[in-house]
Structure 1
Amino acid sequence: MRILILGGSQFLGRAVGARACAVGHDVTCAARGVAGPIAAGAHFVMIDRDAADGLAPLAGETFDAVVDVSRYPGQVRRAVAALKRPGVHWTFVSTISVYADNRIPGQRADTAPLREPVAAEIEHSTDAIYGAAKVACEQAVGNDSFICRAGLIAGPEDPTGRFAYWPTRLARGGEVLAPGSPDDAVQFIDVRDLAQWIVHAAEVRLTGIYDGIGPIRKRGEFLAECAAALNASCTFTWIDREFLEAHDVRRWAGPRSLPMWLPLPDFAGFLTRDTSPAREAGLTSRPAGRDSARYTALAARKPRTSDRARLR
């Protein structure tokens, strides 16, 4: 099968390329070529998706499947106009940030309300309109495609640190500041598992809208599993939301943040999505501690700051 990846030079796109090559597909990665190398065995085509004719280098090429990971509505609309044809399986990697309600646990992709899409004239995306821009991208792609709404993605080459902080910190051992409660939910997916499912979806021509995330875990169990896999001796000091916010410890990502922490009840639904439809459609998840955490701890950079420094 000939697979075109629009992107393919970093993190998920490169993982999809690596998986597709590994199982014998003919893979082309089309990108600007500035983010990093493509997967070994894939072909590279230089394009500029922001230009009106930026996909011209792909003219005349035929593909059985296309995978697009863009966050920019203008790029997605141009790709659909230039490349989407009958018989071509189309995958669009979206995000659970498209949902309008993050408070209700257990929501499903087929029934949860969405944000309003950005206006038609909006070409690009920012962090402030990320979810709304992805809704616009989904609408451009259409319901005859495979739309994979990814959650927090972990694993090799993760550039965000949103998962990597925890294995790296736990590997140091000692007293570990843990946000919220041991019973709070966490939910994520290893990039290799997500890539495998995306390639599988193209192979079986899966269509529909799914949440591409792993099973719901309790935070305490997740941290203990990671520590055990790393042979780390840790004690956990659980700190409530009020104390963290009073000391300017921030949520999720960025400076002074604790990754994988979102305040409750505001985000009780964000990390508790019902992903049973995705599992029925072939998504599998590896044990977090045994593989994802161990790999990440070996590859990650030094922690950004100490636990105590987060509370100063």
Structure 2
Amino acid sequence: MRLLVLGGTAMLGRAVAAQAVAAGHDVTCLARGVAGEVPDGVRWVRGDRDLAVGLAEVTGAGAHWDAVVDVSRQPGQVRRAVAELEPVADHFVFVSTGNVYADHSRLASNESVPLLSPLDGDVMADMTVYGEAKVACEAAVLDGFGAERVLIARAGLIGGPGDASGRSGWWPWRFAHPVGAGGAVLTPDDPTLPMAIIDVRDLAAWLVRCAESRTGGVFDAVGSPDTLGGLLTAAREVAGHDGPVVPAAAAWLADHGVQEWMGNESLPLWISDEEWRGFGSHTGAAARAAGLTCRPVADTLREAAAYEEGREATDPRRCGLRDETERELLGLLGH
């Protein structure tokens, strides 16, 4: 298979390219290279998709691709790619997101949840319109290639090696490096919150298999259903943590400035808003019926923690509480 990956230097695009090369495919990545380099064995075409000629080298005379994989969040980039690649590509795999859904309160939901309105414009200015931008990207791909030639993978929380956001790596890292007395670690008091992680390698391998088989359709590409409590238990096991776990109520954490989900001064993977309680609960049943398989989440967390350890000296951590903040909060809770 001749596969074109639009991207290929950041987490998921790089994993797709690596999986495809390992499967014996002829892989080309078109990327600027600002996130790093492409995997070994991949042809690298340096290109900027924001330029009118950005795709010229992969769409010119004689070009033909069995499949294209695109992870962009910018509608203008996707529209240009669809227009220029449709005549020379057989199949289009677009990686979208669960953020496209307009309702995140439903539990154990599927692809039937209504979507947000598409972004009106070519450029997503910031992450507040991430879902709307991806809706517009999906529409462009379906309109240009037709449903039979398109796979849309609405990815859930992606974790494992290369997770620069820190969401999947912070908890096993923190349990391995506790700062509270006796090894105490602060956690949200919400163990039943639905939350699942899909390993980047599992998602990439499935996308490559779907490209090989020309699988079409729209799928929630999510990890095996789990809970925040289950993920924290797995993270403790990975880290070998046997100290106290100190749960704190959502209101108390909010009063003390603790952020949710990701970013600085946060407790990652935690969402207290009831309107978002179902965000991590999509079943992924259709994708599993189409061949998606997921490794044990402990394996994903172990690799994510190793990535956190490896980057600590050169890349500032982007997720979780600072040591001094967590010590202060634990002290207020008597630990």
Q: Which interval holds the TM-score relative to the shorter structure?
A: over 0.9
- Return the letter of the residue paired with 1:287: P
TM-score, normalization: structure 2?
A: 0.88
Out of 167, 176, 181, which is 2:172 matched to? 167
Partner residue in 1 for 2:159:
154
Structure 2 unpaired stretches of 5+? none
Offset of 1:216 from its aligned partner?
A: 1.6
Equivalent-residue separation in structure 1 for 2:137 and 2:174 (angstroms): 36
What does the per-residue CA deviation read over 1:108-150, in whole Å, with 9 as the maximum and x for residues that have no partner? Answer: 11x101100011x333442111110000000000033100011
| More deviation, 263-272/227-236 | 227-236
Equivalent-residue separation in structure 1 for 2:177 and 2:218 (angstroms): 40
Out of 91, 100, 103, which is 2:102 matched to? 100
Partner residue in 1 for 2:188:
179
Equivalent-residue separation in structure 1 for 2:328 and 2:65 (angstroms): 52
* CA contact 1:12–1:191 (8 Å) conserved in 2: yes
Offset of 1:286 from its aligned partner?
A: 0.8
Equivalent-residue separation in structure 2 for 1:262 and 1:310 (angstroms): 19
* CA contact 1:2–1:64 (8 Å) conserved in 2: yes
Partner residue in 1 for 2:302:
294
TM-score, normalization: structure 1?
A: 0.94
What aligned pairs does 1:53-64 form with structure 2 within 5 A after superposition?
Answer: 53-58=53-58, 59-60=60-61, 61-64=63-66
- For the structure 1 residues 140 and 80, does the alpha-carbon distance in structure 2 shift closer, same or farther, using more than 3 Å as the test? same
Equivalent-residue separation in structure 2 for 1:176 and 1:114 (angstroms): 38
Identity %: 44
- Return the letter of the residue paired with 1:98: V
- For the structure 1 residues 177 and 252, does the alpha-carbon distance in structure 2 shift closer, same or farther, using more than 3 Å as the test? same
* CA contact 2:169–2:305 (8 Å) conserved in 1: yes
* CA contact 1:71–1:125 (8 Å) conserved in 2: no
| More deviation, 251-260/132-141 | 251-260
What aligned pairs does 1:39-78 form with structure 2 within 5 A after superposition?
Answer: 39-58=39-58, 59-60=60-61, 61-78=63-80
Offset of 1:54 from its aligned partner?
A: 1.4
Equivalent-residue separation in structure 2 for 1:48 and 1:159 (angstroms): 22
Partner residue in 1 for 2:249:
240
SS of the aligned residue for 2:292 comes to: coil
Partner residue in 2 for 1:113:
114
Equivalent-residue separation in structure 1 for 2:44 and 2:27 (angstroms): 9
| More deviation, 228-237/10-19 | 228-237
Offset of 1:221 from its aligned partner?
A: 2.4
- Return the letter of the residue paired with 1:115: L
What does the per-residue CA deviation read over 1:45-85, in whole Å, with 9 as the maximum and x for residues that have no partner? Answer: 11110012211111132110000000000000000000023
* CA contact 2:64–2:89 (8 Å) conserved in 1: no
SS of the aligned residue for 1:27 comes to: strand
Partner residue in 2 for 1:276:
285
CA RMSD of the aligned region, Å? 1.7
Out of 195, 200, 203, which is 2:212 matched to? 203
| More deviation, 231-240/94-103 | 231-240
- Return the letter of the residue paired with 1:149: R
SS of the aligned residue for 1:200 comes to: helix
Offset of 1:188 from its aligned partner?
A: 1.4
| More deviation, 300-309/144-153 | 300-309
Equivalent-residue separation in structure 2 for 1:277 and 1:214 (angstroms): 12
Equivalent-residue separation in structure 2 for 1:240 and 1:156 (angstroms): 31
Equivalent-residue separation in structure 2 for 1:114 and 1:283 (angstroms): 23
Equivalent-residue separation in structure 1 for 2:114 and 2:327 (angstroms): 39
What does the per-residue CA deviation read over 1:268-296, in whole Å, with 9 as the maximum and x for residues that have no partner? Answer: 1101112111111111111111x112222
| More deviation, 86-95/44-53 | 86-95
* CA contact 2:71–2:96 (8 Å) conserved in 1: yes
- Return the letter of the residue paired with 2:85: L
Equivalent-residue separation in structure 2 for 1:138 and 1:37 (angstroms): 27
Offset of 1:159 from its aligned partner?
A: 1.1
What does the per-residue CA deviation read over 1:153-184, in whole Å, with 9 as the maximum and x for residues that have no partner? Answer: 10111111111111100112521111132222
| More deviation, 273-282/298-307 | 298-307
Equivalent-residue separation in structure 2 for 1:135 and 1:297 (angstroms): 32
Equivalent-residue separation in structure 1 for 2:224 and 2:193 (angstroms): 13
More helix by share: 2
* CA contact 1:227–1:234 (8 Å) conserved in 2: no
| More deviation, 253-262/194-203 | 253-262
- For the structure 1 residues 228 and 21, does the alpha-carbon distance in structure 2 shift closer, same or farther, using more than 3 Å as the test? same
